[in-house]
Amino acid sequence: MVTLKGNIVYLRALEQKDLNFLYELENNTLVWEISGTVTPYSKDVLQLYLDNAHRDIYDVKQLRLVICNLEHKTIGLIDLFDFDPYHKRAGLGIVIHDEAQRNKGVGAEAISLLCNYVFQVLGLRQVYANILEDNIASMHLFQKLGFIPVGVKKDWVRVGSTYKNEILLQKLNT
């Protein structure tokens, strides 16, 4: 049986009550480097997003879930993107917004829960992640969970007047 609840976190669908959390996270310029965002989001735009968040992954090719601790506090988001049912793959991204929850196993458990879901329920063959080369904590986390570096995208992300390499990691359902 697949569950989206672990020992320290659970994953749930977006709800209307998440508007302020989304607004704070999406407009946090410190996260823009990894999310590819270059402009702020209004609450109106985020409300439209929430209004459509119920749509099926096979329709919109993405899924965003909220990471909550067992006391029901929202601490982050985990996403599937570029969902490709034909090739049986999807990208995975995660952000733990609550810095006090980082390095406590929250990310590892959330990624493990989502990987179990995509492999067992969605029947995917692989999940991949794109991680900036200098994000040592994320590189370590994903490799610890069985993701293998398979390529380097040179000068892939522009940060100010410089460029950073992005590493492509894959996890196969074998």
Classified by CATH at the fold level, domain 9-125 comes out as Aminopeptidase (3.40.630)
In the chain, where the domains are located: 9-125
Distances, alpha carbon 98 to alpha carbons 15, 73, 95, 102, in Å: 19, 10, 9, 7
Q: At a CB cut-off of 8 Å and minimum separation 6, what does 4 contact?
A: 10, 11, 12, 65, 113, 114, 117
Give the per-residue pLDDT at 132: 94
pTM of the model: 0.91
Q: What is the mean pLDDT of each run of 10 residues along the chain (174 residues)?
A: 89 92 82 75 86 87 94 94 97 89 91 97 97 94 98 93 96 92
